[in-house]
Every structure is written in structure tokens, then in C-alpha cells.
Amino acid sequence: MSISTIVVLVILAALVLYIISVYNQLVALKNRFENAFAQIEVQLKRRYDLIPNLVETAKAYITHERETLEAVTQARNQAMSGLQAASAAPGDAAAMGQLAGAEGALSSALGRLNVVMEAYPDLKASTNMQQVSEELTSTENRIAFARQAFNDSVMNYNTYKQGFPPVVLAGMFGHAQDASLLEFDDSEAIAEAPKVSF
């Protein structure tokens, strides 16, 4: 075997090892952002589980505001549907947009409920309402942190995938599409959690 053949084989082996490392890095980064989305999913489900408690507690005090309570329940159900779609395809632009829109509608409905509840001092003073409010506020903070971690993971994935030479190989490995960030339509929702103090 000649020296030139050995050099060619070494170069080919190095190239194959590099391609394998690019593939493994793409898979690792994709798994990270999918795991980060799973953390958002856990917190959103917790939030969705708390909302019926909020509505039930409010029903005892707010008898004339049925439409507002129904709007919160309907927005919660739509947000749950958006979460299911996003869970099936984390990072997909359409799924992230659907979830963001549903979450914006839910935040808006909760905001309207908060305005209505301001007129009911007994409700605001209720121990149950204070406890649900505290849990919901804590969950909103967890959602914000989980969303930030997800967006950071998506950014790392997209940055690596768009760099050279991974950009040449990404499409061949099934990583043609960029992952989408989870950004809420309502700019207030990004800056701070919905106000749920009662």
C-alpha cells in the first residue's frame, strides 16, 4: 500500500468521523429543545389544571358573571388543544403559533376575570382564592422560565444547523427545517405573567 493511498484513507476516515459528529450534534441539540418543550408542557398542564379550581372558587361569589367564567373555560380548552398540537411537533412554526395564540387568548380571558373579581372583596379575601392565585402565579413564573430554556435550546439548534459545514449536511440528515421559538402574540405576556392577584 502506497503512502498516497494511506493518506487518502486517513482523510476519508476523518471525513466520515466528522460527518458522524455533525449528525450526532444535530440529534443532541434537537433532543435538547424537545426536552425543553416537555418542561413547558408540564407547567402548562399544571396551569390548565389550576384554572378549573379558579373558576369553581369564583363561581361561589360571582353569580352574575357567567359569561366571563365560560370564556375562561373555553380559552383553557383551546390552549389545551394548542398544547397537544405543539407537543406532537415541538419547534414546528404552525404548532408554536397555534399554542402562542391560544395562550394569548387564555391570558386575556384571565385578565378579564381578574377585572371582574376586583368588584368582589369577599372573593379576593377568600383563602381558597388566595391559595389558587398563589399557585397560578408560581406556575406562570415556571412557564416563563421553561419557555426561556426552550427558546435558548431552539436558538442553539438553529445556530449550529445554519453554520458551515453543518448546513450542507443538515438536510441530508432530516434537519432541513429550522425550529421555531415559542413567542406569545401578546407582548405583555412575554414581559410578565398575567395578573392573577385577588
Q: Are 96 and 173 in contact (CB under 8 A)?
A: no
> What mean pLDDT is predicted for residues 169-197?
71
Angle between helices 3-59 and 127-162 (to 10 degrees): 160
Binned at pLDDT 50, 70 and 90, residue 123 comes out as confident
pLDDT of residue 128: 85
The upper half-sphere exposure of residue 43, i.e. CA atoms within 13 Å in the direction of its Cβ, equals: 23
How many Å apart are CA 90 and CA 178, to the nearest integer? 11
Say whether pLDDT at 191 is over 70.
Answer: no
- The reported pLDDT for the residue numbered 17 is 96
Counting residues of the chain whose pLDDT is more than 70, the rounded percentage is 93
Average pLDDT, the chain: 89
Chain segment 4-33, per-residue pLDDT in tens: 999 999 999 999 999 999 999 999 999 999
User: What's the grid cell of residue 191?
Assistant: 414581559
CA 151 remoteness from chain centre: 8
- Within a 13 Å sphere around the CA of 165, how many CA atoms are in the beta-carbon half? 9
DSSP-based helix, strand, coil % in the chain, nearest 5: 80, 0, 20
Task: Report DSSP state, residue 119.
Answer: T
Q: What is the CA radius of gyration of the chain?
A: 23
Strand (E) or helix (H) holding 108? helix 93-117
Domain ranges of the chain: 24-191
CATH topology of domain 24-191: de novo design (two linked rop proteins) (1.20.1440)
The DSSP 8-state label assigned to residue 172 in this structure reads G
- Which pTM was predicted? 0.82
The Cα 48–Cα 76 span in angstroms is 6
Q: Establish how many alpha carbons lie within 13 A of residue 169's alpha carbon, considering only the half-sphere containing its beta carbon.
A: 17
Q: How many CB atoms lie within 10 A of CB 39?
A: 17
**pLDDT above 60 for 198:** no
**Is it the case that residue 37 has pLDDT exceeding 80?**
yes
Confidence grade of residue 159 (pLDDT, cut at 50, 70, 90): very high
